Structure 1
Amino acid sequence: MIMEKQPERPSWPRDIRRLLWMQGVMNASHFMTIPLLALYMSTHLHFGAAALASVMSANLLCAQALPLAAGAIADRFGSHRVIPLGLLLRGLGFLGFSCFDGVSAWIGFAVLAGSGVAFYEGGVYGLFGRQPKDCHSALFASNNQMLNAGAAVGPIIGGLAGQADIRMAFGVSAVLFIGLSAVAYRSKFGSSVRFKSQPVMSSLKLAATHAGLWRLIVVSLPWFFLFPQLYVTFPMYAGQLAGPHAASSIYVVNGVVGLAFLILAKRWMTKVNPASLATWAYLGAGVTFASLAVLRGIEWFLLFIVAYTVVETILLPTLEGMTASLAADGSQGTFFGLMSAAGALSGTAGYYAGSWLIVNRTPVETWSTLGSVGILGFVASLLLLRRPDPRMAAG
């Protein structure tokens, strides 16, 4: 059977194309410092496991809980108002990391940086969600591709800056975020995209009463638990295996492999049923994490990062695409916000559990526990995701 050739990608508005490029630059700035954050708190500031997890969780809670409000605000007033604000707050948060040493100060600046993530992503994903539903898979795959490009470049720049002084990396990242905020303010991303303005309470009610969204949220919770390990467990374990500079290599591998995989597999991902993608990605996560219980050494850990990156590169855009496909017209930012807010609780648990496991338990216990969470996601996907409709797999 001869299949009709599909275009490589839809013709998106200029704002969307420019915003995709900004996603790459933004993530490069983000990953300049994130590989160094947990390790810096542990080895230089001598924060204990509870203090380290508190800083990371404060950032996560604000980054993932506040999008519920930020998304609703973006739905009401437009994404172009919240995107520059989010970037500015992130810049100020990283500037604080470069200037202060105390736990309380770091928690405060983590709140500031996390709030910036919330406003930025509330605007960006609300704008992405307003694009035609038939291009969501391609759009979120392209978004993930640009994020991976930034994740590949950022750690290299941050590592070079960190060799002189880690605080310099924080400062450079802060300057980049503040500069991007000025660019976004002048560009007014999304101001030319026509959208249906939705009252805040109406958007919240639509999202909160959507059964399909709640099923998808339950399926997503194991991934929200596992994903924070990229920022805590992974760099700390790499540091244990091969010293502090090994942490940056994790993110270089993560970014390069994710970018290469998407270049090769993006068209395939847009054609496969999203529910099937999520289910098998979770199985891969469970097996991959559990494998580290028996495979030791930095070379095996870097191979694990390759496998983890493939899982991440499949699962993240798949969950985002399903969320966008479920979202009611005019309430896209709120739907993403509710997904993010629910995930914040699981992510916080992931930060605390990962920090405690890597500091207090053996590698066998640590990675077996995390592997079991991946298997839980596999079972949840089998039970809760519907497969007949490839575009509304969770609905």
Structure 2
Amino acid sequence: MRYTNDNCTDTLLIDSFWMKGENLMRAIRLLLVNSFLMNVSFFAFIPFLSAYITGSLALSAGIAGVILMIRQLTQQGTSFLSGMLGDRFDYRILISTGMILRGAGFLLFSFCTTPMELIVAAVITGIGGSLFEPTSKAAMSIFTPPSKRGDIFALDKIVRHSGIICAGILGGILLQLDFFFSSFVCGGIFVFSGLITFSILPKENVNVPKQSFKDSWQKVKSDRLFIYFTISMIGFWFMFMQLYLTIPLHAAKVFNSPTFVSSLFIVYGMIVVFLQYPLQKWTKKFSRLSVIKVGMGIMGTGILLIGMSDSFLIFWGGFCAYAVGIMLVEPTSYEYTSEIAPPQFSASYFGFSLLAMAIGGSLSQGAGGWMYEHMPHVNWIICTLAGLISAIGIQWLQWILRKNIQFRESKNETYFM
């Protein structure tokens, strides 16, 4: 987990690009606008897709769950390959193509009437996300000076959750219309963003050596500590995905109000918008791995309180702790990945890191839903244990780095703990 001297040279090269000024600032602004629009479109569409499948198409909830799982597995499961494509070719092309494919997939859903057709649309939608997700984060990392990356990733999270809040308004409006209009509007947002990205995103600024697939694979495979870090993040994504599955179900059950779920996401979005940036500033005095470790512990505590709650105060106390844990872990993990990834392999590293989301998220959606239905108390305990095990994994990684730090410093290498 380190930069070598060659990587430091690459970092200085990127810093010299930053001195070009307006082009790179324009790139960062565009990527942040993309984050906002993508979340507006995604969360105004995906939460209502299940209702369309089970309502208008009269298919089972099980089929709806399978469609959503296929979409996620296709996206996060192929992100490593997409990341290697990004390091081999131009980030701008991958981001633009991915957004246009995502938009086409959204529009295709409105013409689907059978499970097989829905699966095809889900796969296209997932491939689109696979193309733009790791390359967008890599581009954001490349365009940003190392000292500012934590702030930019925190700002990106604020922007994304502002989009979620706006998505609730847009989704509510589109829900009153035919599903075709939801597909057309939300898909059109992605297509528009893709075309604008291809036209505006500065190509020349991602000026790092392009890598072959073999080189990308060998580099990531040889970084065993990064692979271990990715494995340790599986528990975080297992807990995180409960936000879209069992936590809303539990909230509706405890408070006997389906409308309570919408307020849940509004509150979550507002917590992130108002607290993420100052929280990120405060955590700069600590090491990134320590912040991630503590955040996982807070998340685990919060989700256990949510599961035990039968009153307003306990539920919201647990939910706020859960949200703070997410704010500590997610942007910090992106910052950490950007720091340990050699610039020429940035997209490959981000793509590989998303495998943790693919594994943790899929287990969370599949097993979590079944456990909540048949063994609800066990579900919350397993979620808490997942966070605890991941926190212990991060602690072990810190121990390994500390144990070897004197040897590494003797070889003039820099570590990020």
Q: Which residue of 2 aligns with 1:152?
A: 165
Q: Does 1:123 align with 2:140?
A: no
Matched residue, 1:3: none
Q: CA deviation at 1:156?
A: 2.1
Alignment of 1:351-390 (within 5 A): 351-362=365-376, 364-386=377-399
Moved more, 77-86 or 123-132: 123-132
d(CA) in 1 for partners of 2:314, 2:174: 28
The equivalent of 1:66 in structure 2 is 78
Q: 1:175 aligns with which of 184, 188, 213?
A: 188
Q: How does 1:199-214 map to 2 (within 5 A)?
A: 199-214=212-227
Q: 1:237 to 1:115 in 2, by over 3 A?
A: farther
Partner Cα distance (1:33, 1:316) in 2:
23
* Per-residue deviation, 1:301: 4.5
2:155 to 142, 146, 158: 142
Shift of 1:39: 5.2
Corresponding residue number in structure 2 for 1:7 = none
Alignment partner of 1:248: what SS?
helix
Deviation at 1:134, TM superposition (A): 2.9
Does the C-alpha gap of structure 1 residues 377 and 41 become closer, same or farther in structure 2, counting only changes over 3 Å?
Answer: farther
2: CA distance, partners of 1:374 / 1:35 = 26
Shift of 1:164: 4.1
**After the TM superposition, which residues 22-101 of structure 1 pair with which residues of structure 2 at under 5 Å, given as runs?**
22-38=34-50, 40-41=52-53, 47-48=59-60, 50-101=62-113
Q: Do 1:216 and 1:385's aligned partners in 2 also have CA atoms closer than 8 Å?
A: no
Q: Unaligned regions of 5+ residues in structure 2, if any? A: 1-18, 406-413
Maintained 8 Å contact 1:78/1:123:
no
When residues 304 and 30 of structure 1 are mapped into structure 2, their CA distance, relative to the original with a 3 A threshold, is: farther
1:233-279 C-alpha deviation (Å, 9 max, x unpaired): 23444454545444333322222111111233231133321111111
- Name the aligned partner's letter for residue 350 of structure 2: F
Distance of 1:341 and 1:41 partners within structure 2? 27
Confirm whether residue 260 of structure 1 aligns to residue 268 of structure 2.
no
Q: TM-score scaled by structure 1?
A: 0.87
The equivalent of 2:291 in structure 1 is: 277
Question: Equivalent residue for 1:193?
Answer: 206
Quickly say closer, same or farther: Cα 1:101–1:368, change in 2 above 3 A. Answer: farther
| Residue type at the aligned position of 2:169 | I
Distance in 1 of aligned mates of 2:168 and 2:316: 15
Equivalent position of 2:408 in the other structure: none
Distance 1:47 1:358, change over 3 A: farther
Maintained 8 Å contact 1:79/1:189? no
Percent identical: 23
Distance 1:96 1:354, change over 3 A: farther
Choose 154-163 or 186-195, whichever is displaced more. 186-195
Amino acid at match of 2:359: L
Whether the aligned pair in 1 keeps the contact of 2:107 and 2:180 (CA below 8 Å) is no
Taking structure 1 as reference, are residues 115 and 148 closer, same or farther at Cα in structure 2, changes over 3 Å only?
same
State how far apart, in whole Å, the 1-side matches of 2:107 and 2:247 are: 25
Q: Which has the larger radius of gyration?
A: 2
Q: Which moved more, 1:262-271 or 1:86-95?
A: 262-271
Q: Which is worse superposed, 334-343 or 157-166?
A: 157-166
CA distance in structure 2 between the aligned counterparts of 1:60 and 1:137, rounded to whole angstroms: 26
Give the drift of 1:33: 2.2
Cα distance, 1:42 vs. partner? 5.2
Cα deviation, residue 186, structure 1: 1.6
Instruction: From the superposition, tell whether residues 173 and 385 of structure 1 become closer, same or farther in structure 2 (CA, over 3 Å).
Output: farther
Q: CA deviation at 1:88?
A: 0.9
In structure 2, the partner of 1:4 is none
CA distance in 2, matches of 1:358, 1:43: 23
Query: How far is 1:376 from its partner?
Result: 1.8
Instruction: State the AA in 2 paired with 1:55.
Output: I
Structure 1 residue 107 and structure 2 residue 119: aligned? yes
Is the CA contact 1:285–1:374 (under 8 Å) kept in the aligned structure 2?
yes
CA–CA separation in structure 2 for the residues paired with 1:26 and 1:183: 13
Are 2:80 and 2:355, in contact at CA under 8 Å, matched by a contact in 1? yes
Q: CA RMSD in A?
A: 2.6
Secondary structure of 1:99 counterpart? coil
**Aligned counterpart in structure 1 of residue 146 of structure 2, from 114, 130, 133:** 133
The structural deviation recorded for 1:128 is 2.2
* AA in 2 matched with 1:355: G
Distance in 2 between the 1:43 and 1:366 partners?
28
1:202 Cα shift?
A: 0.4
1:129-183: CA deviations, max 9, x gaps?
3244333222211221211221222122212322445554343211211211221
